[in-house]
A and B are shown apart, each in its own frame.
Chain A
């Protein structure tokens, strides 16, 4: 039985509203193997393992554990089946202690009712020592670093004596030393016959630890391969996979003087030493995986989060005491990633949304002039071809693409000369996407400086004059439009540039 299949998933389909997250995916796991799962953001890796962990229900397909077809309706069932999971973000309770967190849901009891605190502490200590994790079991989790929390979450998963361990990007917050510690623990588990599913963006790690690798792309399984029979470049090609179509109508612009510059911006746990600039008439792409610190950096630069280190310059002049209202006043616009939560007031009409960032400029008297508001809104509805019957339609009734145009109109109305667009086409249909790209082109031609954050490779390559790539909070590459290739950007983004070179040599 040493090489039996513990888990077999067949024909797994999972739909989210408007998206097919998993499309007929097959996946299996043997005893005593480390099966690596890779893919771009949104490829469906986390969705697949969440189905196995009982967090998400599946729409169709079968899951077999030890050859028997079963359903896993909730996390408790997964625990009973011996499936343990360590999530991407720690889900430990910050104001419970390490020992309390490890044994939550399987506490040692005293007289059947009360938790045996002494026994709990002793067992936690024993477990932590056996794993060489140097943490006091009585410490509050809130006082631990993210890396230590991740190790505790791992220890918690092991405390159930699982037969299957799922790790969803476990090393994203770990130092090299902690990563090595985790690898030692994983190999030990593997020798004991535990099956391990390992999701990671650090491709170089996969070759150190993995036995087999499965690549997902856009919810589909591309292939499953033996790790020692494959190479990094071919994995990256399988993950990225797409050709840059004619979707991206890039038009030439005249690039002028520097408009916006970040200098040495650092913030603990978010980003380190970020230097970048955008010139007038230039579209600059900022590429990186989710969690690479792109959004966090721009939030700092716009004043949404307190800027502790580094400075921001607008047309060569330093902005002191940055705050969102100051940035808007100076003509910087920020279109956030989550347009429904942060970019728009869904319960307000199109005209109210368009004028929202420029009420002071439009109505200097302090009273809203209805006619002026209406005319201003109509002007932008025409210019940006916003698909709304009237300017009074509430934003909630508009499609995602139209909403995005309203957000853009909002910043145009505020006379922003620097625009930061965070994932401007996320969840938007292809037709409207092309329209948004046209608007971005027009903005650049008028001499505005545009910075686009995106995790879609073809998009960033298609629309940018220059591209910065971020990985783990740092800028790992700066590329000109003429010298980009998908593989190059991806390898910067996955932080494997050096490893890649070694492979070639």
Chain B
């Protein structure tokens, strides 16, 4: 009887993505060795810092599951922030500014999606191009500098809290639940798995490849837009270079979370945990007083180790199935 319950517990624990244990280990480690890491203030900070990456990584998980990739998300985060800053400076209300920032990124995603689906061009190439186009537009709007955001209601997005938790946390939670529903309970989610594992087979089943691929990049762009709003609210600046390199952290979060880069399957929980691992590492190492080069190098090493670990677990899992 005792063994049975223990086995059940073990079964439950196995469903946690392996990255969850790494996160737990890091949390315990930093609480012990890093001063203030465990404080409530820093906890709130972690939520605020992690929100941007978690949102972008969730979108990237969908894209990668569909057999694609979106390299433009980092520069779209920047674009969104710049458009918000620019619109506020022009005197538009903050609601309009936020919608404008997100919408611009949705349109960028739509354009990438159209070229990928209708032009049959590799997502890597198209979104790599979009990365530079979006950044150029941002740089043009801010004319090389950055726009300071003074609008008080807008900064509430970052500083405000609801039920004792910061608003970025709630936005992230909303995004995660939305994607969870999308992937588990809508036909779009089903089609994404099908298209990612075998596009030709999916079209033979009667699935509209073009439409669903376009939707993937619209979703990815829109989420980058939301992340950009959150980030620009935190730093109170619209800056074209905000979000630079974020696409690679997002891909890393997805991959160490157990989603194979080849598509066809994906783990949302893994992607979010992966984003938290990266955030905790950056935050914890900085609190230890390490210089930024060392922090970057340590994050890099951890990412590679994390991917190796995730892949070996993935391969082992496959073998156990057969």
Contact = CB atoms under 8 A, between A and B. Distances in A.
B120 interface: no
Contact of B206 (A76, A93, A96, A117): A76
Contact of B201 (A74, A78, A91, A143): A91
A329 B198 CA distance: 37
A115 B190 contact: yes
B193 A143 contact: no
Contacts of B185: 114-115, 117
Contacts of A143: 321
B293 to A, nearest CB: 37
B317 to A, nearest CB: 10
Interface string B194-216: 10011011111111100000000
B68 interface: no
B163 to A, nearest CB: 26
Contact of A104 (B203, B207, B208, B264): B207
Give the size range of B's interface with the partner: 20 to 34
A107 B190 contact: yes
Interface in A57-89: 74-76, 78-79, 85, 87
A93 B186 contact: no
A95 interface: yes
B67 to A, nearest CB: 12
B190 A96 contact: yes
Contact of A114 (B181, B193, B206, B207): B181
Contact of B194 (A55, A96, A113, A114): A96
Contact of A93 (B184, B200, B264, B321): B264
A115 B265 contact: no
A185 B277 CA distance: 52
Contacts of B181: 114
A251 B226 CA distance: 75
Contacts, number: 66
B10 interface: no
B197 A93 contact: yes
B205 A104 contact: yes
A107 B204 contact: no
A85 B193 CA distance: 21
Interface string A102-126: 0011010000011101000000000
Given A95-B197, A95-B265, A114 B205 contact: no
A220 to B, nearest CB: 26
B205 A115 contact: no
A93 B199 CA distance: 10
A95 B185 CA distance: 15
B297 interface: no
Contacts of B204: 53, 55, 75, 85, 87, 91
Contacts of B194: 93, 96, 104
A114 B180 CA distance: 12
A113 B190 CA distance: 13
A93 B202 CA distance: 8
Contacts of A104: 187, 190-191, 194, 205, 207
A242 to B, nearest CB: 33
A11 interface: no
A439 B161 CA distance: 80
20 contacts: A53-B204, A74-B203, A75-B206, A76-B206, A78-B206, A87-B201, A87-B204, A91-B198, A91-B205, A93-B197, A93-B201, A94-B197, A94-B265, A96-B194, A100-B190, A104-B194, A105-B187, A107-B190, A113-B186, A115-B190
Interface of B: 181, 184-187, 190-191, 193-194, 197-198, 200-208, 264-265, 321
